[in-house]
Structure 1
Amino acid sequence: MSIFIIFTMITFVFFLVSFKHSKPYPRLPPGPKPLPYIGSIITMLRNKPTFRWIHRLMDEMNTKIMCMRLGNVHVVVVTDPKIACTVLKEKDEIFASRPDCMSGYLASIGYLNTALAPMSDHWKKMRKILATEILSVARHKWLQNKRDEEADNLLRYIYNQCETNVAATKGVVNIRIIAQQYTSNIIRKIVFGCRYFGKGRVDGGYGDEELEHADSLLTINENLFAFCLTDYFPWLRWITDFDGQEKIIRKAICNATKYQDPLIDERIQQWKDRVRTEKNDLLDVFINLEDPGLDAQEIKAQILDLMLASLDNASNNVEWVLAEMINDPMIFDKVIQELDSVVGKDRLVQESDLVHLNYLKACVRESFRLHPIAAFNIPHVPSRDTTVGGYFIPKGSHVLLSRLGLGRNPDVWIDPLTFNPERHLNNGDNKVVLTDHNLELLSFSTGRRACAGVLLGSTMTVMLLARLIQGFTWELPHNEPHVDLNESLQKLSKAKSLLAVAKPRLPHHLYPKVE
């Protein structure tokens, strides 16, 4: 309470100064009436989680674009695909920068990465490197054997839980844990060439090191651009960590990088000493880049960026898909029939099969629409004053496209709260993709700031779901009639992890055995 009183007194002084010099803006998007200087900060602090308060306000005001002032920052939220297209397509160049925020600065090691860096020559350099050297189609093919190893390890681990170790587990599998394990294993394998930071487990599961690493990455993601007070009053950082977010994110970054950075330093030295002479993974590629090359800090920042981007989106998506399909056996049966028709039951589904699994991909796409991992995309910042949807958007505003609002927009989607993969098969196109450049759903975004890892992210997500469904039948534990589909209050993941009983549905010789 004393901190709040100090904050109020200081802001009152700033209000006296700013009010005297304030100038009226042209017509801004509708929004809550701000207090002088502090804007809607007090109301925001009283209405956590902030993303639910924002969407509630937009529903009450019946608006698809809203502006609220937090300190001296105008935060603009968009839930209409046409307005979103204006931001990311028509005026993409104007909105291509990022905000200068505490969480973004720390997670990018001082804006040395790609996703969080403001528009600059450094960003252009990193983006080009990602597109041509790290996440290109050729590099994707080069790394396929490593992804295949983790797809096999996924089956190995689940098979062990429901066959070899069934007395202890009763065949019950935590879908959230195995999905996160799969995605984090893949990114470790393609970056560092290893599945584990420590010894791991014989059955292919997480070790303590991998669990701490994954939890740290999830914590960082949950606290990125999470409406921290110091993002709108930067001078407060020199006084206090008002809401504790800086302490949380610093600790999580420390826990994540203590596993990554020593491996990076060691590998750099190996190349300097010519102990290592052949490229085997993405770390080797980063180290050997030329014109331009990267220093150690840039490599560390970009690898953390890749780790953060890879872990939670695919795993969250697949957990929701399985939960929805268990509650709707007709959808589940259609996916199984497609897999049996395209792949059969005498071999394992491979990445080359994914292009033909349109109904399965429609399920993934529908989950991206209905159950996004985050309420908003990373904020866009206009480099100059502009107009969007007939409203004035001041230079330096934080523009948020609502994944939740776009995907559940009743003006776009019929019965938007219902999980219905069929809606993605009625466009006359036989090829289902997970991106949507019309922004009626926001999966991998579009424009200059679109996710550079669309191919990797799409492959990981679809392959994970395909292996889970082809390899096993999934039923609820005894005495559970249906899956609870409630969301967590503080975020958009399921309130409870999905627990399901797995039983092998393929010939036993197809399952990779514990080595």
Structure 2
Amino acid sequence: MESSPAFFLIFSFIIPVFIFIIKFKLLKSKKPRLPPGPKPWPIVGNLPEMLANKPTFRWIQNIMNDLNTEITCIRLGNIHVILVTSPSIAREFLLKQDAIFASRPLNWSSKYVSSGYLTATIAPYGEQWKKMKRVMVEELISPQRHQWLHDKRVEEADNIVRYVYNQIKNNGNGLVDLRHVGQHYVGNLIRRLLFNKRYFGNGSEDGGPGAEELEYVEALFLVLKHLFAFSISDYLPWLRWLDFEGHNKIIKEATNTIRKYHDPIIEERIHEWRNGTRTHQEDWLDVLISLKDANNNPFLTMEEIKSQIMEITVGAIDNPYNNVEWILSEMMNQPEILEKATEELESVVGKERLVQESDIPKLNYVKACIREGFRLHPIADFNVPHVSIEDTIVSNYFIPKGSHILIRRQGIGQNPRVWEEPLKFKPGRHLKKDGFRVSLGEPSLELFTFGIGRRNCPAVTLGSTMTIMLFARLVHGFTWIPPPNEPIIDLSELERGTTKAKPLVVLGKPRLPVEVYHQMN
């Protein structure tokens, strides 16, 4: 039977329409694409490329540069890791959709360091995190507590000036390692706030650290270095027993070293409170032990107290020293900037006393220098990872549930779409107008200081105060010049990190009347 012309006409019309409808439905149902990134292998994702291109953060920098993108996705195992260098996209993650990205990774490293996610920063989203963050915000770093601990902070600011003064006198050549100075100022201060003690042992006669403090601070930096270090076992847990690169062994040993110093103090203090031999709060540890629930029972377990103290010490040790070392290095290569900061300090403080916390609101240029240090030289390229608790869309890209979100601090701060001359140290860019008070916080995320959103660093006031006082005491109290063999300070970064490749060792000279230094003895 022959087909009629009408049949062919209808058939030729229906088939294209049918194909169009199918394509339209498929297109409509198709999820938006992932952010751009390298094509992953089955099962292992981009882990082979990561292993072949250490350090990982520089490999990621190169990927983003090659793709000319401000958001990228790499897959490690079955986890999508999303990297961001755009302030507007970062704000969408951490402000607009903050509730979706409020969790943390579940991996061996963070679980071990936090004794099973008991702490405020590392714990995933849930009741334990809410409990511990409330303790931090309401009990440890509230404005009232900050004022309560003022004298302890002053004692440690005085001690670091005394230590530097003694170093200059005793070294003969006046050389001072300012990295060493900065690290131990922060260590001393945190120990004083937590345990009301500067040293675990006897310290050194010149006011510096003893062998115990040196071992302790080294362990803190080892934990920091390996906690979120793109370890293979964090993405392929079934390979953990192999312990690639000795990652787990390093974390265990360093954590146990810290606990060796913490735990006896904590256990003895809890015993004192329970038997009534201690009744007066002197430090953060006393506050944590004294907290009670509605039934007048201890609000925190001993393990929660130990874990939270561990997290505080690890989280506090790095930012202040790194910032101050970098900005002093930059300033010695631009002496006019160092002179301007010194002039502001002398104008506000004079030369008959040391700079105090009460002077900080008037030190706008000093704070501008510190902001510029955070912008240009962050301590690490990534913030603590955020984890998405559901599928969502950000900046027209699909972000799967369980993705790890990392804001690239250096990428944000050196973004040429945001900052003019992004690689140049220019503190003046942060001074907006007369009477404007410079702050170290940054809600717009055009540079990454303390973060934003519900998982931001809650200790903005304390962190700002520590950094400003360390820098201001060093600049106000001493004149600094490069050593004769290094007239220009080397500003190279470590290949495997964003810290300065060489410690800042420079010539120091007291610039205040001698009686000012003697008043601290």
What's the TM-score, normalizing by structure 2?
0.92
| Residue number in structure 2 paired with 1:86 | 92
Mapped contact 1:32–1:40 kept (Cα < 8 A): yes
Q: Choose from 156, 159, 173 the match for 1:153.
A: 159
Question: Which of these residues, 279, 286, 289, is aligned with residue 287 of structure 1?
Answer: 289
Q: Which residue of 2 aligns with 1:475?
A: 481
2:432 aligned partner, one-letter code: N
C-alpha distance in 1 between matches for 2:209 and 2:71:
43
The aligned counterpart of 2:506 is 500
Q: Distance in 1 between matches of 2:492 and 2:383?
A: 22
Q: Secondary structure at the match of 2:176?
A: strand
Matched, 1:243 2:249: no
Pairwise mapping of residues 218-233 of structure 1 onto structure 2 (< 5 A)? 218-233=221-236
Letter in 2 for 1:229: I
- Supply the distance in 1 between the matched residues of 2:293 and 2:361 (Cα, whole angstroms): 36
- The answer as to 2:353 corresponding to 1:347 is yes
Query: Structure 1 residues 256 and 106, CA, compared in 2 at 3 Å: closer, same or farther?
Result: same
Unmatched 5+ stretches in structure 2:
1-29
Q: Is the 8 A contact 1:155 1:512 kept in 2?
A: no
AA paired with 1:449? R
Contact 1:381 1:397 in 2 (8 A): yes
- Alignment-derived partner of residue 108 in structure 1: 114
State whether structure 2 residue 296 is matched by structure 1 residue 306: no
Q: Residue 6 of structure 1 corresponds to which residue in structure 2? A: none
Write the distance in 2 (CA, Å) between the matches of 1:513 and 1:346: 11
2:337 maps to 1:334 = no
Relative to structure 1, the CA distance from residue 428 to residue 55 in structure 2 (aligned partners, 3 Å threshold; closer, same or farther) is: farther
- Which 4+ residue blocks in structure 1 deviate beyond 4 angstroms? 512-515
Give the equivalent residue in structure 1 for 2:328: 322
Question: Which string of whole-angstrom CA distances, capped at 9 and with x for unpartnered residues, describes residues 159-182 of structure 1?
Answer: 11112x133xx1100000000010
* CA distance in structure 2 between the partners assigned to 1:404 and 1:25 by the alignment: 31
Query: In structure 1, what residue type is equivalent to 2:265?
Result: L
Q: Deviation at 1:478?
A: 1.8
Residue type of the partner of 1:166? N
Per the TM alignment, residue 106 of structure 1 is displaced from its structure 2 partner at its CA by 1.4
2:215 corresponds, among 176, 189, 212, to 212
| C-alpha separation in 1, matches of 2:139 and 2:188 | 21
Q: Deviations over 1:395-454 (max 9, x none)?
A: 000010110110000000001000000110136761101111111111100110010111
Counterpart of 1:372 in structure 2 is 378
Residue 513 of structure 1 and its aligned partner are, at CA, apart by 6.3
Is the 8 Å Cα contact of residues 229 and 243 (structure 1) preserved in structure 2? no
> Residue type matched to 2:259 in 1?
T
8 Å Cα contact 2:158/2:520 also seen in 1? no
Structure 1 counterpart of 2:208, one-letter code: G
RMSD across aligned positions (CA): 1.3
CA distance in 2, matches of 1:346, 1:96: 49
**Deviations 1:50-79 (CA, angstroms, capped at 9, x unpaired):** 000001100000011000111100000000
SS at match of 2:387: coil
The count of residues paired between Structure 1 and Structure 2 equals 489
Equivalences for residues 102-501 of structure 1 within 5 A: 102-163=108-169, 165-167=170-172, 170-237=173-240, 239-291=241-293, 293-426=299-432, 430-501=436-507
Q: Give the match's secondary structure for 1:244.
A: helix
Matched residues, percent identical?
52
In 2, Cα distance between the equivalents of 1:403 and 1:432?
A: 20
Query: Is residue 32–residue 396 contact of structure 2 (8 Å, CA) maintained in 1?
Result: no
For residues 360-419 of structure 1, give each alpha carbon's deviation from its aligned partner in whole angstroms, at most 9, with x where no partner exists. Answer: 000000000000001000000011000111000000000101101100000000010000
Q: Give 1:39's aligned residue.
A: 45
Tell me by how many angstroms 1:243 deviates.
2.6
Q: Which amino acid aligns with 2:341?
A: V
Contact (CA 8 Å) 1:203, 1:514: kept in 2 or not?
A: no
CA distance in 2, matches of 1:427, 1:28: 42
Q: Which stretch shows the higher mean deviation, 504-513 or 133-142?
A: 504-513
Please give the per-residue CA displacement for 1:137-177, whole angstroms capped at 9, x wherever unaligned. 100000000000001001111111112x133xx11000000
Question: What CA distance in whole angstroms lies between the structure 1 residues aligned with 2:518 and 2:266?
Answer: 31
* Aligned residue identity for 1:127: K
- Alpha carbons 2:33, 2:397 under 8 Å: kept: yes
Contact 1:190 1:282 in 2 (8 A): yes
Cα pair 2:37 2:73 within 8 Å, conserved? yes
Secondary structure of 2:217's partner?
helix
Distance 2:135 2:443 in 1: 23
1:336 shift after superposition:
0.7
User: Given the two structures, how large is their TM-score scaled by the length of structure 1?
Assistant: 0.93
CA contact 2:193–2:283 (8 Å) conserved in 1: yes
Q: CA deviation at 1:276?
A: 0.8
Deviations along 1:182-202, one digit per CA (max 9) or x if unpaired, are: 011000001000000011112
- Is 2:376–2:425's contact at 8 Å kept on the other side of the alignment? yes
CA distance in 1, matches of 2:47, 2:335: 46
Alignment-mate amino acid for residue 209 of structure 1: E
Distance 1:448 1:58 in 2: 27
Q: Which deviations, in whole Å up to 9, do the C-alpha atoms of 1:256-311 show, x marking residues without a partner?
A: 11001110001000111111110000000000011271010000010011101111
Question: SS of the residue aligned with 1:243?
Answer: helix
Aligned 8 A contact 1:317 1:368 in 2: yes
Q: Which runs of 5+ in 1 are unaligned?
A: 1-23
**C-alpha distance in 1 between matches for 2:92 and 2:256:** 39
Aligned to 2:58: 52
Residue-by-residue CA offset, 1:328-363 (whole Å, 9 max, x unaligned): 001001001100111111111100001110000000
For residues 108-131 of structure 1, the C-alpha deviation after alignment (integer angstroms, 9 at most, x for no partner) is 111111110000101001111111
Is the contact made by 1:286 and 1:299 (CA closer than 8 Å) also made in structure 2? yes
Q: Secondary structure at the match of 1:44?
A: helix
Maintained 8 Å contact 2:415/2:422: yes
Q: Report which of the two structures shows the higher radius of gyration computed on alpha carbons.
A: 2
Question: How far apart are the structure 2 equivalents of 1:193 and 1:145?
Answer: 11
